[in-house]
Amino acid sequence: MLAGVLISSVSFVLLCYWFRYSCLLLLRNRSEQAAGPVDGRFSFVEIRGRLESASDLDPLRRSLERDYRIVTYLLHHAAGLGTQSLEDRLLRLDYKLMRGWYALTRTAAPQQARRALSEMASVVACLAQRMSSAPSIHSQS
Protein backbone atom coordinates (compact mmCIF):
# COMPACT_ATOMS: atom_id res chain seq x y z
CA MET A 1 0.00 0.00 0.00
CA LEU A 2 2.72 2.45 0.98
CA ALA A 3 4.78 1.57 -2.07
CA GLY A 4 1.80 2.26 -4.35
CA VAL A 5 1.21 5.67 -2.80
CA LEU A 6 4.90 6.51 -3.03
CA ILE A 7 5.11 5.45 -6.69
CA SER A 8 1.96 7.42 -7.52
CA SER A 9 3.28 10.51 -5.74
CA VAL A 10 6.64 10.39 -7.47
CA SER A 11 4.94 9.82 -10.83
CA PHE A 12 2.70 12.84 -10.28
CA VAL A 13 5.63 15.05 -9.34
CA LEU A 14 7.54 13.93 -12.43
CA LEU A 15 4.49 14.58 -14.62
CA CYS A 16 4.21 18.12 -13.20
CA TYR A 17 7.92 18.69 -13.78
CA TRP A 18 7.64 17.44 -17.36
CA PHE A 19 4.64 19.71 -18.01
CA ARG A 20 6.35 22.85 -16.66
CA TYR A 21 9.59 22.11 -18.49
CA SER A 22 7.76 21.43 -21.75
CA CYS A 23 5.74 24.63 -21.51
CA LEU A 24 8.76 26.78 -20.72
CA LEU A 25 10.70 25.16 -23.56
CA LEU A 26 7.83 25.77 -25.99
CA LEU A 27 7.58 29.40 -24.93
CA ARG A 28 11.31 29.93 -25.30
CA ASN A 29 11.49 28.26 -28.73
CA ARG A 30 8.46 30.04 -30.13
CA SER A 31 9.56 33.43 -28.83
CA GLU A 32 12.92 32.97 -30.57
CA GLN A 33 11.13 32.13 -33.83
CA ALA A 34 8.69 35.04 -33.63
CA ALA A 35 9.90 37.69 -36.01
CA GLY A 36 6.76 39.11 -37.57
CA PRO A 37 4.87 42.22 -36.53
CA VAL A 38 2.13 41.93 -33.95
CA ASP A 39 -1.33 43.35 -34.49
CA GLY A 40 -1.62 46.60 -32.52
CA ARG A 41 -5.08 45.71 -31.29
CA PHE A 42 -3.60 43.10 -28.95
CA SER A 43 -2.27 44.37 -25.65
CA PHE A 44 0.03 41.52 -24.56
CA VAL A 45 3.15 43.32 -25.83
CA GLU A 46 2.28 46.44 -23.85
CA ILE A 47 1.45 44.36 -20.79
CA ARG A 48 4.95 42.86 -20.69
CA GLY A 49 6.40 46.36 -20.51
CA ARG A 50 3.99 47.55 -17.84
CA LEU A 51 4.31 44.53 -15.53
CA GLU A 52 7.23 45.87 -13.50
CA SER A 53 5.83 49.34 -12.93
CA ALA A 54 2.11 48.65 -12.53
CA SER A 55 0.77 48.76 -9.00
CA ASP A 56 -2.63 47.25 -9.84
CA LEU A 57 -2.32 44.03 -11.82
CA ASP A 58 -6.03 43.31 -12.35
CA PRO A 59 -6.46 45.63 -15.38
CA LEU A 60 -3.49 43.90 -17.00
CA ARG A 61 -5.06 40.51 -16.30
CA ARG A 62 -8.36 41.63 -17.83
CA SER A 63 -6.56 42.80 -20.97
CA LEU A 64 -4.77 39.47 -21.22
CA GLU A 65 -8.05 37.61 -20.79
CA ARG A 66 -9.57 39.61 -23.63
CA ASP A 67 -6.59 38.90 -25.89
CA TYR A 68 -6.66 35.21 -24.99
CA ARG A 69 -10.36 34.89 -25.76
CA ILE A 70 -9.92 36.62 -29.13
CA VAL A 71 -6.89 34.56 -30.16
CA THR A 72 -8.41 31.23 -29.13
CA TYR A 73 -11.68 32.11 -30.88
CA LEU A 74 -9.79 32.94 -34.07
CA LEU A 75 -7.72 29.76 -33.84
CA HIS A 76 -10.85 27.66 -33.46
CA HIS A 77 -12.85 29.33 -36.21
CA ALA A 78 -10.29 30.34 -38.83
CA ALA A 79 -10.48 28.29 -42.00
CA GLY A 80 -7.41 26.28 -42.86
CA LEU A 81 -5.77 26.19 -39.45
CA GLY A 82 -6.80 22.59 -38.96
CA THR A 83 -6.78 20.86 -35.62
CA GLN A 84 -4.80 22.10 -32.70
CA SER A 85 -1.40 20.61 -32.12
CA LEU A 86 -0.33 19.08 -28.84
CA GLU A 87 1.89 22.10 -28.26
CA ASP A 88 -1.04 24.49 -28.56
CA ARG A 89 -3.07 22.42 -26.14
CA LEU A 90 -0.21 22.38 -23.65
CA LEU A 91 0.14 26.14 -23.91
CA ARG A 92 -3.59 26.67 -23.40
CA LEU A 93 -3.51 24.44 -20.31
CA ASP A 94 -0.46 26.36 -19.06
CA TYR A 95 -2.36 29.62 -19.53
CA LYS A 96 -5.25 28.29 -17.44
CA LEU A 97 -2.92 27.06 -14.71
CA MET A 98 -1.09 30.40 -14.62
CA ARG A 99 -4.46 32.15 -14.37
CA GLY A 100 -5.19 30.05 -11.28
CA TRP A 101 -1.71 30.69 -9.88
CA TYR A 102 -2.23 34.42 -10.38
CA ALA A 103 -5.52 34.25 -8.48
CA LEU A 104 -3.81 32.47 -5.58
CA THR A 105 -0.76 34.74 -5.39
CA ARG A 106 -2.31 38.09 -6.31
CA THR A 107 -2.43 39.45 -2.76
CA ALA A 108 0.02 37.24 -0.85
CA ALA A 109 2.94 37.19 -3.32
CA PRO A 110 2.76 40.00 -5.89
CA GLN A 111 6.08 39.05 -7.51
CA GLN A 112 4.79 35.55 -8.23
CA ALA A 113 1.60 37.09 -9.63
CA ARG A 114 3.71 39.25 -11.96
CA ARG A 115 5.57 36.17 -13.17
CA ALA A 116 2.27 34.39 -13.80
CA LEU A 117 1.00 37.35 -15.84
CA SER A 118 4.25 37.45 -17.77
CA GLU A 119 3.94 33.79 -18.67
CA MET A 120 0.28 34.29 -19.60
CA ALA A 121 1.33 37.11 -21.94
CA SER A 122 3.98 34.84 -23.48
CA VAL A 123 1.38 32.14 -24.12
CA VAL A 124 -0.96 34.61 -25.82
CA ALA A 125 1.95 35.91 -27.92
CA CYS A 126 2.86 32.37 -29.00
CA LEU A 127 -0.71 31.55 -29.95
CA ALA A 128 -1.08 34.82 -31.85
CA GLN A 129 2.20 34.15 -33.64
CA ARG A 130 0.96 30.71 -34.67
CA MET A 131 -2.24 32.24 -35.97
CA SER A 132 -0.43 34.93 -37.95
CA SER A 133 2.04 32.46 -39.46
CA ALA A 134 -0.69 30.24 -40.93
CA PRO A 135 -0.46 30.33 -44.76
CA SER A 136 -4.22 30.35 -45.31
CA ILE A 137 -4.64 33.51 -43.26
CA HIS A 138 -2.27 35.45 -45.51
CA SER A 139 -3.69 34.12 -48.77
CA GLN A 140 -7.25 35.17 -47.90
CA SER A 141 -6.50 38.79 -47.00
CB atoms within 10 A of CB 48: 15
Measured between alpha carbons, how far is residue 52 from residues 111, 117, 140 in Å?
9, 11, 39
Q: What is the pLDDT of residue 39?
A: 65
- Binned at pLDDT 50, 70 and 90, residue 137 comes out as very low
Host domain of residue 88? 2-140
Helix (H, G, I), strand (E, B) or coil at 134: coil
Single pTM value for the model = 0.82
Look at the chain and report how many structural domains it folds into.
1
Q: Give the whole-number percent of the chain exceeding pLDDT 70.
A: 84
Q: What is the pLDDT of residues 31-65, one digit of tens each?
A: 776 655 566 678 887 888 888 888 888 899 999 99
